[in-house]
Structure formats: C-alpha cells, structure tokens
Amino acid sequence: MRSRIFILAALLVCGTELACVGSLHAGLFSPAGFKLATGTLAALSATPGAISFQATNPSFGLVSGSSPGSITWTSVNLLARPNWTLSLQAGSTSFVGCPTIPVSAIQVSCGTTSVSGVGTGTGACGGSFPLSTTVQQIAGGAQGIGANSYSVSLNFTLAESWRYVASSACTVTITYFVDAP
C-alpha cells in the first residue's frame, strides 16, 4: 500500500517585544505596551512548504522525509540581547485524513545550526523528540550585537508501522516559533 504523508510548515516569530510575524498575518502589535525596540527580525522563512514520506512497507521501520526542513531569519541588534530559541509543535494529535496515525510517529531532530554575519551570535542543536502538540525547543543560541543570519536544518522521520492505516494523503501542520527577544 502506498501512502503519502505530508508535513505542512507554518511559521510564527516573536521578537523585539514589538513585532510578531506569522505566516498568515504580518502585523505589528505591542504585547506588553510600548517599549523601545533595540533589535529587529526579518527575512523569516520555513522551507520547504511541505515534506512528504513515501510509506510503502511497514517492515522497513523508519522512513526519512523527502527533504530536510530549513528555518532561516536575520536579526540586527543594537544591544546585547538574551538567547534565541527555535521551537515547534504539531497542530493536532493525529494526521488530518489519517486519524489512526499519531503525530508522535514523526521523530524530529536538528541537523545543523549556523550563524553568520558581523555580529557574535551562536547556535546549537538540541536533542531529538517525537512530534507533539506541546511546544518543544529544537535549537537555540546567543544573539549577538550587530547583524546576523541564522539557519537551522531539521530532519523528520516517520516510524512506519503495521498498526497505522493510511489513506492516499495524510497531513499535519507544524508551527515553528522563533523567539529572539
């Protein structure tokens, strides 16, 4: 039986205490009243928009996603800032179209982090974990003073099992959270 399972990416970024940018709405708001902005986040991207798994034989065990996920953004800070974090969560406990497959069948791991630019930012991967509806941190590091570009590569694997009955297409939405205060 061939089935295709997709992970759809959504992106939510909060930082500078003045702006939150979502993939569906790019508005500005002030969650804690007006504060002086000492840094900015820009060029937010989560690619690819969908990752698929070719689940063809449950005897194979783990199935790698069609490609790694990549989350990138830039940050310009005028002052030293606290650490940044990248977290994610699933939008539901099971796949849409395949309610017998829990999202915990997807294992998430951080492949690499990189920070480049004139600033002094750093990045490091966290441990791997099963996907869930709980927000879980996958990477983090120090924000530097100046301009930096951040990139985090994520790997997704599906624990294919005989007990999971899939239709022709199953999807789950993942929301990424970049916190760079």
Q: Give the pLDDT confidence of 74-121 residue by residue, as tens digits.
A: 888 777 667 899 999 999 999 888 888 899 999 999 999 999 987 778
Please give the Cα distance from 174 to 66 (Å, whole number): 16
Please give the Cα distance from 37 to 53 (Å, whole number): 42
Contact 41, 176 (CB under 8 A): no
Q: How confident is the model at residue 72 (pLDDT cuts 50, 70, 90)?
A: very high
Q: How confident is the model at residue 8 (pLDDT cuts 50, 70, 90)?
A: low
The winner for highest mean pLDDT among 18-32, 42-56, 131-145 is: 131-145
Q: How confident is the model at residue 123 (pLDDT cuts 50, 70, 90)?
A: very high
Section 33-59 average pLDDT: 74
pLDDT digits (tens, 9 = 90+) for 98-107: 888 899 999 9
Main-chain dihedrals φ then ψ at residue 167, nearest 5 degrees: -90, -165
pLDDT over 70 percentage in the chain: 77
The count of residues in the chain is: 181
Phi-psi group of 93: left, alpha or beta (phi > 0 → left; psi -120 to 50 → alpha; rest → beta): alpha
Task: Write the CB contacts of 63 (distance below 8 Å, at least 6 apart in sequence).
Answer: 53, 54, 55, 157, 158, 160
* Predicted local distance difference test score (pLDDT) of residue 3: 34
Task: Indicate the residue type of 102.
Answer: P
Domain ranges of the chain: 3-180
Task: Give the H or E element holding residue 178.
Answer: strand 169-180
Contact 73, 116 (CB under 8 A): no
Section 46-51 average pLDDT: 91
The whole-chain average pLDDT of the chain stands at 77
Please give the Cα distance from 19 to 14 (Å, whole number): 6
Spatial CA neighbour of 47 closest among 135, 129, 152, 157: 152
Joined tokens for residue 78: 């005028």
Work out the end-to-end distance of the chain between its first and last CA atoms, rounded to an integer number of angstroms: 47
Section 147-175 average pLDDT: 87
Give the global pTM.
0.78
* Predicted local distance difference test score (pLDDT) of residue 56: 76
- Give Dmax (Cα) for the chain: 57
The winner for highest mean pLDDT among 4-8, 30-34, 126-130 is: 126-130
Please give the Cα distance from 15 to 164 (Å, whole number): 39
